[in-house]
Chains A and B, each alone.
Chain A
Amino acid sequence: MEINCVEVESKKYPKALKESFKKLVSSLGPKKLYYKGNWDEKIFQNCLAVVGSRHLTYYGKKATEQLVTEVAAAGITIVSGFMYGGDEAAHSAAVKCGGKTIAVMPCGIDLIHPANQKELYQKILDTGGLIISEYEGDAQPQTFTYIQRDRIVAGLPKAVFVTEAALNSGSLISASYAKKMGKKIFALPGPITSEVSKGSLKLIKEGAEVVTEAKDILKYFDILPSAKKAGKNFVTGDSLENKIIEQLKREPLKADELARLFVIPVAQLGTALSLMQLKGFISQDSGKYYIN
């Protein structure tokens, strides 16, 4: 099989990556980059790294989907590390809206890790994205290769967007590389009580820019957002359904909590919830109901 490889001396080697590592004293850039997919230099022009916890909350997942969809649709390449959780959410949001995305693997180029994301892997290639790695063959990922991978994730793009991150997480490692490379850091604000928001909140405290809408990121790239998405408006004539929608807009709740709140039998509430799910107003995830 043909081995696709770009060496550091090559003209094809991403300039941004080379520049990034010049500013870094502690570590060197990859000498070789193995890749799968179609190597087109344009893909490296406007890159944003999106990194996040392996254990995203529902909020983190929703926010990533929403923001990345708009950013990727505007033509920015999404770079991430192909791990499950935050990385997966970023890649798949980009793939879904027809954007381009680069997955930086912590393992040999021939290996798909984690293996259960085979489908996503294929989709990235199908939509003109790239899979890259500095390791050849089917080398297994090691603890240190994840961190080595993080430096490439930080090195390729112009800015890094941290969605949800716990303290001492890989996402913060990417962020600290990016900071040393002099790159812009964006962070998603989250509840102060959430373990997986403590890292991103710490970044905000240290000067990262808060992202509340895609425009915050697009402005930095000097790109105008595509047509503004209208907020969903759920029309329903049912008063209980309206009450449920109002409540879920504030925060996701369990069926039991809703029943107690409205003081109605859980049987009646269950009926309403099922019908609303069928109408596509709300969805359920690990026991809680969310507004769509």
Chain B
Amino acid sequence: MTNSKGRFGIHGGQYIPETLMNAVNELEEAYEFYKKDEAFNKELSELFNEYAGRPSRLYYAEKMTKDLGGAKIYLKREDLNHTGAHKINNVLGQALLAKKMGKTRLIAETGAGQHGVATATAAALMGMECVVFMGEEDTKRQALNVYRMRLLGAEVIPVTSGTATLKDAVSEAMREWTTRIDDTHYCLGSVMGPHPFPTIVRDFQAVISKEIKEQILEKEGRLPDAVIACVGGGSNAIGTFYNFIEDKEVALIGCEAAGRGIDTFETAATVNTGSVGIFHGMKSYFCQDKYGQIAPVYSISAGLDYPGVGPEHANLHDMGRAQYVPVTDDEAVDAFEYLAKTEGIIPAIESAHAVAYAKKLAPTMDKDKIIVITISGRGDKDCAAIARYRGENIYE
């Protein structure tokens, strides 16, 4: 690939319409400039610390550790960030970058609504216009987040095409961007899409592993044996992994949404069930049929309900550096309830996928081992849906 940019092994690239090429090139140039710009970084640090509440805590989950009887468990509390999820890290970075580029309007896709809320928040803070595309199915599953976005001044456009979920919201946001580029930045919410998005989003989320490293060295004087995070597109996972990639002794574990199981069609476990393809601007793993038609995927979690995965994850998988494990709806819901009862922390149903795998892994490890689980978001948004899953007829 002589001209191709943004490759992670064979994955990544820029498979987008010509109409968008100058827009992504302009974004890449701006990012290359501002990432080294002292004033930009100072402003972003201030936003992270003063506005979003960073650094997020690394909390020793003592009760959970004792209950599981194996490895020592720490929780990286991204749920305590302003807006309740890791999404704000990326959004503050991109919104500030967009503003420096002279853009006055942000568009975004959202699944569970966390990225949409974060984008609407940053737009409100920075005085920018904001339009969020959300699958119609998800606007029903996450009605409260739709209200939050509108409250923050954003316009929410329900997407009815395709399966009316996250994948279709991404497609629609891309279509909108080709229509209006001059004043508009597409604030992509995960480590996916065409270059430079997977790199930009990763860099802004890498603060998670940077802090974990500092915090665990301070608390334990050594690196963890495993870091665990849920993976949809993969932004909180790459944030959790990034500063440990070179530390080969740290296992990197991504938890995919298996939905009703990886042996069923109702799954969103891309690495476990997918194959290499080209979609949404990138080469990576996708759930698809043999003719390359993208599969309708399913997960209880709107945020993990995506048929692809970021290209850097695809490459970490190919290299064997990270491991991607499937976690079912049932296991995630059990873990959602478990963490609430054991630690008094209600995780997002997305993050509960990581908790579920840690519950299986920790007891198999010695007590002197250390696991860090990233709690990517808080679970308030999911309470009504989980109640319904358990047969209680609660609506928000």
A binds B: no
Residues of A near any B CB (own CB < 8 A): none
Residues of B near any A CB (own CB < 8 A): none
